Structure 1
Amino acid sequence: MSEIGSVKWKKKDLEHFFPTLKKRVDGYFSGNKIKKQGNRKLYIKAFALLTIYLTPFILILTIQLPVFAQLLLWSLMGFALAGIGMSVMHDANHGAFSKNKTLNYFMGHTLNLLGGSVCNWKMQHNVLHHTYTNIANMDEDIDDKLLMRFCPHSERKGYHRFQFIYVVFFYSILTLYWVTFKDFVQFIQYRKHQTFCEEKKSNVRKFIQIISLKAVYFFIILYLPIGIVGLPVGATIGGFLIMQAIAGFILALVFQLAHTVEGTSHPLPNSEGIIENDWAIHQLQTTANFARKSRWISWYVGGLNFQVEHHLFPYISHVHYPHIAEIVKETAEEFGVPYLENQTFMNAVNSHFTFLYQLGKPCPVEEEEEEAIRA
């Protein structure tokens, strides 16, 4: 991982694009006399998703249910859990859920329902991903993971040609890995590369907090039903794994549909560590929307189908993205800047898996070498 701040953006003729766009977007909010943070619709959604997540768990703990009914409830919790991560936690940790910082803090910690660490997530997502989108060795979201290749600048292995198939399994264990190992691995990496710049005592407190929150999480989610309520071990662990698989797959897939699709760029800095684009132009070239017209998808994924708007204005709540998207698109067209999008969810999914297939496919030179070896 490279040092934060080592990559910079070059100012070009389009440097007036973002100031113009920002002025127009600000004008939309001031002209309509509305705040940029969440509104009643978002608060109702947050309450609904938290209810859908907590109610099944309470039913599992308090009512004697057949195993298949318990598994169905665990599945419902998985869908709700992904929704909370996308629609509630995401806005809150960007400071966009509410004007009230305390409310943002508590709603941001709904990440604990995923068993995750807020301090790690903010560093990975808010700082590294949003600042260095799709830049190799800076944006963790496109770093190679186990058998997965997400960046055209990383080394291709023979097994990558099958990644568009086995990716489903790895997406499904995303949150399971997160709750068990990811936060510890990230913390060690961030300390090693001095990504966390706080004093030693502060980092020790962070590490203790990570351990404590995970201990509380596993106590509630597994020990409480098995060790205290006395529910069957197999059914409970099975339900827990189903919940994690559903939540993990949805979260991994939705987040990948914005950047790891056909048409998005993966620029490299020059020898001086400079990206040959203004920051805002870089965001538009590396980010794609999908299914902007679908109200249901927009509701459930928390505006993550409006990733262009989110990357340009992360401090604005996702409930406003459908209203400012046309402003962004029209301004981009006016300045001759690409506005990338897939019209439907399935178009985006197909584009993502096609891109994974392309990343795994050897180039012509590699194919000739492999044929020569087989011969």
Structure 2
Amino acid sequence: MAPTQSPSTASEGRLPMSPDAAPVRGSEYAVLLRRMRHAGLLDRQLRYYLRKSAVIGGAFVAGWAAFFFIGNSWWQLGTAIFLAAVFAQIAFLGHDAGHRQIFGTRRANYLFGVIAGNLGIGLSIGWWTSNHNRHHAHPNTEGADPDIMGVLAHSSGRARASQSIRRLIFRYQAWLFFPMLLLEAGSLHFSSVRAVLRWSIPNRVWEGVLLAAHAAGYLAAVFLVLSPAKAVAFIVVQQGLFGLYMGCTFAPNHKGMAVLEEGDSTDFLRRQVLTSRNVRGSRLVDTAMGGLNYQIEHHLFPSMPRPNLPRAQPIVAEFCAEIDVPYCETSLLGSYVDALSHLHAVGQHTRPAQEVGSNVRA
């Protein structure tokens, strides 16, 4: 199914607002929620997560076993590539635990999250949950969604208001997007440490201890087995590709979709659907993207277990058609084209008005 938002809306990155639109339509969401419960799609899928965790945990152990077996060799760059993919898969499990998709209790999900996130890959589950919940509450909303307040501009207003080096980055952000993703893991690690030191997140001491344990174990293993040059190369490749992988799974979800103004009163169902994009799935795509290719269903029902999302998709699409809400779904390649085209169009607003006009006429 091709994206159904209008070209003008997509290019400006804004959701057209009607002054007399009703701000609350809870009954529509309630109807959809009842359909999901009736289909059993909010029920826990513990066996699925036990199998998934065993496979990914086995891959994690196998990757590090291969690392110690291969020893001081440039072939370790292959191990780095493998472990980058494994780290991303562990991050997806941490994501699901943060949304309480795995277990029925908050405590069990949190314990799973700190083991997978803090200890396994060096990312604070407490920081991530706080940050990510704000994104879910206000997706693609100026001044409220932390995911669109970073190094990229998602609206013409933010691009025009930028200055100095940020203005330069915004101008060329479509070209810089993938290279910058190579730094994403470093940004995630930095944000985790900063949150543990400065934020009042729960259990911050234990989170800090587990982050330190991960860093000490990771660095000790790398520098004890490899020469300094090989160790640095391993870290650069493994962490760089880990960040690139994560960024490539996030990029299709919201970039190029409607951007809401701060204080927007669009109802919950429309806010989630109109700001999200699905990527058509297959077993390979579902696995590679950790189920995040069903972004619309995930945003509507964050606690829905990952394996239930493909079954929820046709129900949500049908319901959106019933209430005349555009439902955006495209291919993986098409999602990147849409996202990068949007970033490029927004970046042009950093140029002088007459220059933008001449480019449009050309």
C-alpha displacement at 1:187, in angstroms? 6.0
Structure 1 residues 35 and 161, CA gap change in structure 2 (3 angstroms)? closer
In structure 1, the partner of 2:192 is 183
In structure 1, the partner of 2:26 is 15
Match of 1:155 among 159, 167, 185: 159
Q: Distance in 2 between matches of 1:158 and 1:241?
A: 26
In structure 2, the partner of 1:362 is 349
1:121 aligned to 2:147?
Answer: no
Q: What amino acid is the match of 1:21?
A: L
Is the 1:14–1:335 contact (alpha carbons within 8 Å) kept by the matching residues of 2?
no
**Which stretch has the larger CA shift, 167-176 or 308-317?**
167-176
TM-score by length of 1: 0.80
Match of 1:257 among 252, 259, 265: 252
Structure 1 residues 365 and 176, CA gap change in structure 2 (3 angstroms)? closer
Structure 1 residues 237 and 12, CA gap change in structure 2 (3 angstroms)? same
Deviations 1:4-35 (A, max 9, x none): xxxxxx85474321011001111101xxxx76
Flag structure 2 segments of 5+ consecutive residues without an equivalent: 1-20, 161-166
**Which stretch has the larger CA shift, 90-99 or 63-72?**
63-72
C-alpha displacement at 1:365, in angstroms? 5.8
Match of 2:242 among 240, 247, 263: 247
1:98 aligned to 2:98?
Answer: no
Q: Distance in 1 between matches of 2:352 and 2:225?
A: 60
Structure 1 residues 16 and 65, CA gap change in structure 2 (3 angstroms)? same
Deviations 1:334-375 (A, max 9, x none): 011111111x1111111111111111113786244898xxxx
C-alpha displacement at 1:94, in angstroms? 0.7
Q: What amino acid is the match of 2:216?
A: F
C-alpha displacement at 1:107, in angstroms? 2.4
Structure 2 counterparts to residues 186-201 of structure 1, below 5 A = 186=195, 191=199, 196=200
Q: What amino acid is the match of 2:228?
A: V
C-alpha displacement at 1:172, in angstroms? 1.1
1:44 aligned to 2:51?
Answer: yes
Name the count of aligned residue pairs. 330
Q: Distance in 2 between matches of 1:368 and 1:60?
A: 53
Is the 1:82–1:250 contact (alpha carbons within 8 Å) kept by the matching residues of 2?
yes
TM-score by length of 2: 0.83
Q: Distance in 1 between matches of 2:140 and 2:111?
A: 30
1:324 aligned to 2:312?
Answer: yes
Q: What amino acid is the match of 1:75?
A: I
C-alpha displacement at 1:159, in angstroms? 4.1
Structure 2 counterparts to residues 199-278 of structure 1, below 5 A = 206=204, 208-226=205-223, 229-261=224-256, 264-269=257-262, 273=263, 275-278=264-267
C-alpha displacement at 1:152, in angstroms? 3.5
Structure 1 residues 100 and 131, CA gap change in structure 2 (3 angstroms)? closer
In structure 1, the partner of 2:138 is 132
C-alpha displacement at 1:137, in angstroms? 1.5
Q: Give % identity.
A: 21
Q: What amino acid is the match of 1:139?
A: D
In structure 1, the partner of 2:5 is none
Match of 2:147 among 136, 141, 155: 141
1:346 aligned to 2:333?
Answer: yes
Structure 1 residues 231 and 173, CA gap change in structure 2 (3 angstroms)? same
Is the 2:32–2:316 contact (alpha carbons within 8 Å) kept by the matching residues of 1?
yes
Deviations 1:231-286 (A, max 9, x none): 3222122112211111101111211211112xx211114xxx4x232112111111
Deviations 1:134-162 (A, max 9, x none): 111211101132xx323443134244232
Is the 2:72–2:226 contact (alpha carbons within 8 Å) kept by the matching residues of 1?
no
In structure 2, the partner of 1:282 is 271
Structure 1 residues 346 and 132, CA gap change in structure 2 (3 angstroms)? same
Q: What amino acid is the match of 1:107?
A: F
SS at match of 2:123: coil
Structure 2 counterparts to residues 50-129 of structure 1, below 5 A = 50-61=57-68, 63-65=69-71, 67-86=73-92, 88-99=93-104, 101-109=106-114, 110-112=116-118, 113-126=120-133, 128-129=134-135
Flag structure 1 segments of 5+ consecutive residues without an equivalent: 1-9
Is the 1:36–1:96 contact (alpha carbons within 8 Å) kept by the matching residues of 2?
no
